Structure 1
Amino acid sequence: MDEVKVVVAHSERATLRVGDVFLKIDADQTRTDVEVEAMAMAPIPTPAVLWRKPPVLALAAVPGTALGRLGEPSTASPSAWAAAGAAARTLHDAPLPPWPGRGLDGIAAELDDECAWLIANRVLPTDLVTRNRQVAEAALRPWTPRFIHGDLQVTHVFVDSDEITGVIDWSEAARGDALYDLASLTLGHEEHLDDVIAGYGTGVDLDVVRGWWSLRSLLAIRWLVEHGFDPAAPGCEIDVLRARV
């Protein structure tokens, strides 16, 4: 029997790997509904759904290796990063999913709450939070809704020979800002933004991408701490915030 590997586990969900099968267990089946439907709609490679028996979703492993990992240098080539940008463009040009995404007002309110929490609990210096809140303002503007992945971090994009072989973890897919996906993809890997844009094409406002880097990091820290992750690890969210100062 193949070894059972725990890929991720916290109070909301867990993912196990057994051979070439991933078993995703989610306390909220609405997220699983979104994931299954989004993968069926997406015009880019996604994992095959093997079976579903709530609360478990079984997915086939995709070939290749992850584009990178947060906090570690990526060994992927510029061409692979450009291919990721091109895949993002293909997704963003696809028909919109029927369900909505997060609204601008809700994101702004959540950002205010998280900044207040970071300062009140002395998790980060006030000037660091304040400066990044200012940078984040660039992302808080009206956008044309696109079909976005919603969590397009480097570990969710797989490549082989500079080609995209699969994009995983679609539970956050929705209508949203295309530049949020590009910011998620390059978070902590800012040196590859030019490569991503080379594959993506036009329509990339760098100030907005930087705004999403700050905004995503500010929103993530409390969740990461409460679920046993370390946003202060080298190259991770707190370092992303420090880079904006």
Structure 2
Amino acid sequence: MQVSVLASGSKGNATFVAIDGAKILVDAGISATRIKKALAAENVDAADLDAVLLTHEHRDHVVGLATLSKWYHLPIYSRRKTLASLPISIQQAIASPLLHPVDGAFRLAGLSIMPFSTSHDAADPVGWRLAGSRTVAVCTDLGFVTQTVEAAIDGTDVLVLEANHDPAVLKDGRYPWPLKRRILSNRGHLANADAAWAIARMQHRPKDVFLAHLSQENNTPDLAYETVSGILKGQGIDDVPLHVARQDAAVRLI
């Protein structure tokens, strides 16, 4: 198994997952050139990807999709409303046979892949659970952790989970109030402490956790790590390694 968060944050998101020979990209929110180079640094040829899974249609998750599809003709999977809500320029650039709307779990390259609904201000946002001999879940861009999310992330070997902001930093920051309200809402982004409690509540916790989609304005890597690890230790949980994803470089687990 190989998991590499190629980039994560408000400027772009892409995560590479390899399980049992299957090679999957979750989101393509950075340029296709950067994705290609980042994968090459992981000793992966982008042409060998089996598919791209989209969490939702926001720019920081799809900006590289059109060029990536043009270069490699990769199949793209997401909810029907998400595919229909992609920017028109992206829809026009991608051949329709490459777009695969999905509702429930399906098989791909030997893996069982399951989309699960998340609470975010997009058309029909999802997280993804990829299961073979190991199991990985990618769950970012959610205002709160629903029972559906709890069930989907439980029992994973690796979890990529949003730890977007510190509410106090956000409230005292320079963002306009409507944007602050959006981020803090149930359809916004997950705070550091909420990520920690989501991990603490898991019946079967993962072997590794990536803290992802950190806000550059309302969070820091140290603050995210200290908040989440502090809450976990306070609950007597000290056996879950935390890896803080970065916007400008890949963070890997092999």
TM-score by length of 2: 0.28
Bigger relative contact order, structure 1 or 2 (CA pairs below 8 A, ≥6 apart): 1
Normalised to the residue count of structure 1, the TM-score between the two structures is 0.29
Task: Give the number of the structure whose residues are more often strand, by fraction.
Answer: 2
